[in-house]
Structure 1
Amino acid sequence: MEYKSHFDLPIQLIMFFPFLILLVLYALNILTSIWAYRDARKRGKSNEYALLVLIGTLLFPVMGLIVYFIMRKDS
């Protein structure tokens, strides 16, 4: 007699959870980058500066936001 666990999940379901987590993190990265861009524009910064903030936070999500928050306090 073969033992069968009740917790055997299909591989598609197991692979879905990491994909879902990555999708949520990517969406959060996009939302925080858009927020940083709009915040820079609202504070009266130039379009070039705001675009640089957007690119920096998109490419370096955590470090980009930290650097933006530090630079934001100076102005």
Structure 2
Amino acid sequence: MKVAPLPLVVLCLFMGFTFWVMAGAEQSLLAFGAQLMSSPDTAQVVIDLYILAVLACIWMYQDAKRRGKGLGYLVPFFVLTAVFVSAGPLLYLVLRGGPETETGRL
């Protein structure tokens, strides 16, 4: 399996920082999300992120379909995207490998 190094580095840094922050958090992830949604200015940012997450899920679905993968393959990526937004697409890119052209070469 080919692993894409740049998305792997970004994923490791992002998830490491995420777990470090969550370990020191004084409230649950759900309570934090509810607090963000209680104010229009921060709710706009959360809504924007989830629009981006839906677009990323659509892209992952179309890309996986083109590569012959089924919807069952994508479920873990969708769950990660729903919780951590960028973690799902980053992991997908890591496991997807490098870019391909129609001939299979760069």
TM-score range, shorter chain: 0.5 to 0.7
- CA RMSD in angstroms, aligned pairs only: 2.0
Number of matched residues?
60
Distance 1:28 1:36, change over 3 A: same
Alignment of 1:53 onto 2:98: no
Contact 1:34–1:54 (8 Å) recurs in 2: no
The answer for the alignment partner of 2:88 in structure 1 is 64
Give, in angstroms, the shift of residue 69 of structure 1. 0.4
When you count helix as a share of all residues, which structure comes out higher? 1
Q: Deviations over 1:23-65 (max 9, x none)?
A: 1111111111221122111111123113443333333322221
State the distance in 1 between where 2:40 and 2:83 align: 25
Contact 1:37–1:53 (8 Å) recurs in 2: no
User: SS in structure 2 opposite 1:33?
Assistant: helix
TM-score (norm 2): 0.46
Higher relative CO (Cα under 8 Å, sequence separation at least 6) belongs to 2
Q: How does 1:35-50 map to 2 (within 5 A)?
A: 35-50=59-74
State the distance in 2 between where 1:57 and 1:25 align: 10
TM-score (norm 1): 0.61
Counterpart amino acid of 2:82?
A: L
State the distance in 2 between where 1:53 and 1:16 align: 29
* Percent identity (aligned): 30
Contact 1:38–1:50 (8 Å) recurs in 2: no
Counterpart amino acid of 1:32?
A: A
